[in-house]
Structure 1
């Protein structure tokens, strides 16, 4: 259980950040079903067209439910935003944190569970098994290319990192600023699992063999980008948790203290980091 950021309506919400366990169980069960012969590991890839229809249908239905719920059964009424345009409100959302009960948050669940885990099942390479598109490439061509291994390895690192640091996600734009409308509902249900797997989709049918130099170069670029990504997020977390009393790159962190007023009339302070990886340029 983790605590999110203070909302504009003055709510301090708690989240079930059990994504790593959910991901591990889902992938383990899928792999076990494959090893026992109960499921063809390429089943997702082979029924991709039908699944896209299901994804889209669910995304649209979820968007409509979120829109209606915002008017008639809001979870936190002070955190709703009405633009005056029904179309804009449907697309960008009215409710900030729609929930079932106190702990089942729509935004965190749909992005992290069907979104990220679904993406994982569609293209991620596990230790000794290739799930879905990797399996499809093997079934079609009789081998798995180093490019398929690389793209799945890179994405697997991102997925695992996301769930290991899921509490950090509570301080991102998705959770802290975006309302739950079509943009997030359809995006998590459809855009994320379909578009994020494009590389694996292509490689499963058009195998590409990379030279050792190309492999080394791609690993170096990916590793460099990942280090910057983790470093920047760690610096922002450190500055906020220490209230700006920390060192970044051997120097005292530079921060901008901003004030804002929530719907309950209370004034609050937040920090914007102005040094390190996030130095304005």
Structure 2
């Protein structure tokens, strides 16, 4: 049929997320409860979603597209959108926790908190987008420079330069920082808005373990050498 089901469901999820967020924003304006926190959350999410479509080609080199099964992606999108559309209760709407929370709980942030939140988002974006871009470019042209220097390649197959020379799954670190930045506008009074970054942390650690096992089996000694040169899995100097 010429349809890539994985990209179809990713796009559906992204567009659905944006539409739901805009609906929450409209409700906030209608109720006269629009807050600085809501604006910050909406800006971060809108930028992230639109940026995905601009750089969608980089996703062709990620685990989601290469190894994740169609049914996993389909169920994730359906569950996410159905929960958001059918329930008004925050605790039943996991992908929209932050928007629903801010709609029902007005949070005022200090200038320092706004700057710190923006910094977390920026670092997360640079690491996430940069790591995926470097991996994609390397697969297209293994000799392409990374950060202005010739790439360090192990066994002619594994990139050990740039973000991939800092941690073996540095893109996961960026993804986690982005998830955290979506929750930080909700303040620290409750753990409910932090369900998404907590859930994502568990998911990515589980995925990282699966990926490590798959790579160890596929690349054998080459992977062992890469692990020796880059000992950190996701968090440099921590894990």
| TM-score above 0.5 | yes
Counterpart in the other structure of 1:205: 104
Q: CA RMSD in A?
A: 1.8
**Runs of 4+ deviating beyond 6 Å:** none
Q: Max radius of gyration: which structure?
A: 1
Counterpart in the other structure of 1:256: 154
Q: Distance in 2 between matches of 1:165 and 1:191?
A: 23
Counterpart in the other structure of 1:189: 78
Counterpart in the other structure of 2:119: 220
Unaligned runs of 5+ in 2: 85-92, 166-229, 233-239
Deviation at 1:257, TM superposition (A): 4.5
Q: Distance in 1 between matches of 2:97 and 2:117?
A: 18
Q: Deviations over 1:125-179 (max 9, x none)?
A: xxxxxx2111222333x13111101111111111011111112222211211122
Q: Distance in 1 between matches of 2:125 and 2:38?
A: 19
User: Does the alignment pair 1:246 with 2:144?
Assistant: yes
User: Does the alignment pair 1:137 with 2:35?
Assistant: no
TM-score, normalised on structure 2? 0.61
Q: Distance in 2 between matches of 1:237 and 1:186?
A: 27
TM-score, normalised on structure 1? 0.52
User: Higher helix fraction: Structure 1 or Structure 2?
Assistant: 2
Deviation at 1:196, TM superposition (A): 2.6
Deviation at 1:236, TM superposition (A): 1.3
Counterpart in the other structure of 1:110: 9
Secondary structure of the residue aligned to 2:70 is coil
Q: Is the 8 A contact 2:61 2:135 kept in 1?
A: no
**Aligned positions, number:** 157
